[in-house]
Chains A and B, each alone.
Chain A
Amino acid sequence: MSVYQDPPGLFAAACTIYLVAGAVCPTVRRVTMSDEAHPSGAPAPADLAELRARVTRIGERLFMLREVPIQTPSTVDAMFDRLVELTAGLDRFAYVVDLSGVVRPDAQTRARLKERILQINDRLAHVGVAVGANAVIRAVARLVAFASGFPSFSFHFSVDEATEACRRALQ
């Protein structure tokens, strides 16, 4: 899949495809939404260390977040706290986030992500998101990116491509 920036128009276009597409849509049952069973609460100290270890510096002003499969507001806080520590004093930086293997996070977690990204918006140059082949995760990433109000996100198949996009943005 290619690198692309995501202007709002693309989502609208995708919606149009959804409405008009001739593809046969198998059963989408009329069922009411069930609550997502997600664990919540602060992570244990050992886990906290592990979460923090997932945030690393991979170059000058360049950082990497390897997301955990099941995200919660606490895991989001743990990792962003670490990112803020590592980027202290930098007026500009970019990060790569690896979402391959992530399960679709619940509304509360997504809200927390938006908040945390908003807080670093003024110093953020770019976010490169590796989503693999997962269309659902691509949708998650897009929603969170738009909601956080930050204009420079890109979505990629692989971590390498995402990293390259960040390096270019930092030049």
Chain B
Amino acid sequence: MPSSEAGLVEQRLDHIAEIGAGRCSITDAGIEAEADPNTQQILAGLLMLHEDLQFAQQRQSALLDELRGAVRARDEFLSIAGHELRTPITTLALQIEGLEGVLRQKASPELLAALARRMDLTRRQVDRLSGLVATLIDVSRINARRVQVSREPADLMEVLRLAVDRLGDQAARAGSSLRLEDGGPLRGDFDVSRVEQVATNLLSNAIRYGRGRPIVVRASGEDGRARFSVEDAGIGIAREHQPRIFQQYERAAPATNYAGLGLGLWICRHLVEAMGGTISFRSEEGVGTEFTVELPRSP
């Protein structure tokens, strides 16, 4: 190839490379100055491919911005809604307490007995509402990366005992026995409320999916690390769902059967990680599930 032609080929290859790199060296004026119509066509085609690339990138960028904005708005809304809801729930809780107080003072034993069950049920719904609101707020905090962990000297076994006691009734209603294997105190610096929240969540799941079979909580520890596990003999998690079990809005149980937000394990994972720990599980469909949380005993 004569050197002028070779130089031309080099030049053209550079043009193509510039387009691929997102830059461009072809202009409308340059195209017009071309004598050969075929070359004009090609240069125009290359120029337009470059424009299309830029346009697509701009659109993608705009869409990404819009998406991020929408997600921020959603989390903002969750946070506001959650905080707004807390006020009427507080009022409700206080009024119920007030009602109970008045009843205890003024009501006859017969009236008290007739109303006792209704008061129990009423109080429990307030707890449920509070729980749901707390979940909404947790989600918005986790999404906005605003989870705070505050540690204090505590006994992990004691925290687990509290959670087990709290859920004893619920387990009984589902027909499951709930047992804590007490291996003695497990002291360390823990975020007590977060640990309780995670334990409660895991226990709730065990009760919900436990088929009325026994649930066992175990804890152990060595230098530097403590762990606890919740084991059930329930429906288990299907193999195809296992990889995604900790994801947001993930429901391994069919959505038309179990109501629920699908957030529990996602929240658990984030809280455990915020505490510097790990959460894992083993499960077999139709046999049961065991979740294990490992935490550092001090930061």
Contacts and interface: CB of A to CB of B under 8 A. Distances in A.
Complex A–B touching at CB under 8 A: yes
Contact of B42 (A15, A22, A24, A29): A15
B37 A23 contact: no
Give the interface size class of chain A. 35 or more
Contacts of B5: 20-22
By DSSP majority rule, is chain B's interface helix, strand, loop, or mixed?
helix
A17 B51 contact: no
B35 A23 contact: yes
A27 B11 CA distance: 11
A131 to B, nearest CB: 10
Interface string A15-48: 1011111111111111111101000000000000
A17 B15 contact: no
A32 B9 CA distance: 21
Contacts of B11: 25, 28
Given A24-B4, A142-B45, A104 B25 contact: no
Contact of A32 (B2, B23, B33, B36): B23
A49 interface: no
A17 B55 contact: no
Among A19, A23, A140, A143, the most chain B Cβ lie within 10 Å of the Cβ of: A19
Contact of A18 (B38, B49, B50): B38
Interface in B1-25: 1-2, 4-5, 8-9, 11-13, 15, 23-25
A28 B36 contact: no
Contacts of B23: 32
A25 B8 contact: yes
A18 B8 CA distance: 9
Given A19-B13, A111-B55, A28 B43 contact: yes
29 contacts: A14-B42, A17-B42, A18-B43, A19-B12, A20-B9, A23-B39, A25-B8, A25-B39, A26-B35, A27-B33, A28-B27, A28-B30, A28-B33, A28-B43, A31-B25, A31-B27, A33-B27, A33-B54, A34-B27, A104-B48, A106-B51, A107-B55, A135-B41, A136-B32, A136-B40, A138-B41, A139-B45, A139-B48, A143-B49
Interface of A: 11, 14-15, 17-34, 36, 104, 106-108, 110-111, 133, 135-136, 138-140, 142-143
